[in-house]
C-alpha cells in the first residue's frame, strides 16, 4: 500500500549543479524544479496524517515503538535516493516516476493505517444495525449474497482472490503509468487515494461497524478474524499499541475497497485497451466486498458516493502537469 512525494517533471532536462556544489545542491535542484502541485498535495496530506497520529498517540496515551519508524523512513529514503540518482545522473523518467509514487504510497500507508487504529480507540457505538437497516430499506440483503456465493466454493475462492488483488493492482498501476510517463494520471490517483482514505477514516470514526457477520450471525471468514480481534481489542482498551506492522483494514463504512477500485478504474480512463481489463477486474472487486462477508451494500453505495464527489473535485491537474503530459 501508497507517501510523501518527490515529484519530477519527468520530461524536462535536469540542470546539473557545478562541480563544487555537491549532492545537497543537486537534491535541492531536483526537488525545487520538479515538484508539481499534486506532489505537494501528497506531501501535505501525509504530513497532516502523521501529525494527527502523533497528536492522538500523545493525548490518548497510546504506545508507538519508535523503532517501528525506521523501516518506512529507510524505505522512503532509499527509494528517494535512487530516484535522485536516476533523475540527475542517468535520466530514466519512467523509472523515476515509479519510485516517486512508491515513496508516496509507503509513507502515506504507514501513517494512515496507524490513524485508523487511533480512531478505533474512541469506542463509539457500532453502526451495524443502522447499516443493515439501510440495506433492508433498499430491498438488499448482503447475507443472501454471501450465502449464495458460499454455496459455490469455486466462485467464493475467485471472489476472495479478486478482493485481495487490490494491492498488486496498485503496484501494477504504478509501473504501467510510470513507465508510460503518465505522470498526471498517476499523481492524481495517489492524491485521490489519500483523500479517499482520510474521508473513510472520518466516516469510520463517526460510524464504526463490524460488518455483515455481526448483523446476520454469519460465519466469520478466516481472513476477517484478525480484523475483528483488533477492532474489539482497540474498542475495549485491550490494545494500546499503534503500529503499521500488523495493521488490518478496520474500516467497514464506507467501503475503502470500493473507493480504491473505482480510483484505479479512473486512473486508466482513456489509456487504451488496458482500461477494459482494469475496469472489469475492479467491478469484480466492488462486488467482492459484499460476497466476502465483510461489507453491507450500504458500505459499497457510500464508497461510490465518495468517488462521485472526489473524482470531479480533483479533476483538474496543475498546468505544469498538463504541459509535462503533452511533451
Q: Where are the domains of the chain?
A: 22-326
Give the tens place of pLDDT for each residue, 142-174: 999 999 998 999 999 999 999 999 999 999 999
Region 183-199 average pLDDT? 94
pLDDT one-digit tens code per residue, 46-78:
999 999 999 999 998 899 999 999 999 999 999
CB-CB contact of 186 with 96 (8 Å): no
**206-237: pLDDT as tens digits:** 999 998 887 787 777 777 888 999 999 999 98
H helix or E strand, kind and range, residue 167: helix 166-179
Contact 16, 47 (CB under 8 A): no
Per the CB < 8 A criterion, the answer to whether 173 and 268 are in contact is yes
Is residue 210 within 8 Å of 126, Cβ to Cβ? Answer: yes
| CA separation for the pair 171, 77 (Å, rounded) | 19
pLDDT at 22: 52
Q: What is the pLDDT of residue 202?
A: 96
Q: For 8-12, 79-83, 304-308, which range has the lowest pLDDT when averaged over its residues? A: 8-12
Q: Give the max Cα distance, the chain.
A: 72
How high is the pLDDT of residue 2?
A: 39
Q: Is the pLDDT of residue 204 over 90?
A: yes
Task: Check if the beta carbon of residue 159 is closer than 8 Å to that of residue 291.
Answer: yes
- pLDDT at residue 17 in the model: 40
Q: Cell for 246?
A: 500488523
**What's the rounded Cα separation, in Å, for the pair 306 and 295?**
16
Percent of the chain beyond pLDDT 70?
85
Whole-model pTM?
0.84
Residue 322's pLDDT band (cuts 50, 70, 90): very low
Structural contact between residues 257 and 307, judged by C-beta atoms closer than 8 angstroms: no
| Among 289, 281, 263, residue whose Cα is nearest residue 145 | 289
Amino acid at each position: 500500500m501508497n507517501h510523501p512525494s518527490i515529484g519530477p517533471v519527468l520530461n524536462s532536462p535536469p540542470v546539473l549543479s557545478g562541480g563544487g556544489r555537491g549532492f545537497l545542491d543537486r537534491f535541492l535542484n531536483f526537488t525545487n524544479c520538479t515538484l508539481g502541485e499534486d506532489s505537494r498535495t501528497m506531501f501535505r496530506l501525509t504530513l497532516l496524517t502523521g501529525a494527527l497520529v502523533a497528536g492522538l498517540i500523545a493525548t490518548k496515551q497510546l504506545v508507538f515503538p519508535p523503532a517501528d519508524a525506521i523501516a518506512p523512513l529507510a524505505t522512503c529514503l532509499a527509494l528517494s535516493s535512487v530516484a535522485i540518482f536516476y533523475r540527475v545522473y542517468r535520466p530514466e523518467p519512467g523509472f523515476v516516476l515509479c519510485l516517486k509514487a512508491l515513496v508516496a504510497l509507503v509513507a502515506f500507508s504507514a501513517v494512515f493505517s496507524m490513524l485508523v487504529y487511533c480512531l478505533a480507540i474512541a469506542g463509539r457505538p457500532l453502526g451495524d444495525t443502522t447499516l443493515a437497516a439501510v440495506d433492508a430499506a433498499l430491498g438488499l440483503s448482503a447475507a443472501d449474497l454471501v450465502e449464495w456465493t458460499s454455496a459455490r466454493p469455486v466462485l467464493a475462492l475467485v471472489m476472495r482472490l479478486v478482493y485481495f488483488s487490490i494491492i498488486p493492482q496498485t503496484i501494477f498501476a504504478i509501473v504501467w503509468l510510470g513507465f508510460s510517463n503518465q505522470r498526471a494520471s498517476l499523481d492524481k490517483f495517489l492524491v485521490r487515494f489519500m483523500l479517499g482514505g482520510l474521508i473513510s477514516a472520518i466516516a469510520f470514526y463517526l460510524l464504526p461497524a463490524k460488518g455483515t457477520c455481526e448483523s446476520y450471525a454469519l460465519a466469520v471468514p478466516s481472513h476477517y478474524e484478525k480484523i475483528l480481534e483488533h477492532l474489539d481489542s482497540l474498542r475495549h482498551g485491550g490494545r494500546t499499541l499503534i503500529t503499521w506492522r500488523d495493521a488490518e483494514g478496520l474500516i467497514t463504512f464506507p467501503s475503502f475497497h470500493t473507493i480504491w477500485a473505482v480510483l484505479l478504474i479512473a486512473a486508466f480512463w482513456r489509456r487504451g485497451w488496458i482500461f477494459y481489463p482494469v475496469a472489469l477486474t475492479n467491478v469484480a472487486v466492488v462486488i467482492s466486498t459484499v460476497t466476502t462477508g465483510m461489507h453491507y451494500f450500504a458500505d459499497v453505495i457510500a464508497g461510490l458516493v465518495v468517488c462521485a464527489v472526489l473524482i470531479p473535485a480533483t479533476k483538474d491537474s496543475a498546468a505544469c502537469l498538463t504541459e509535462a503530459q503533452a511533451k
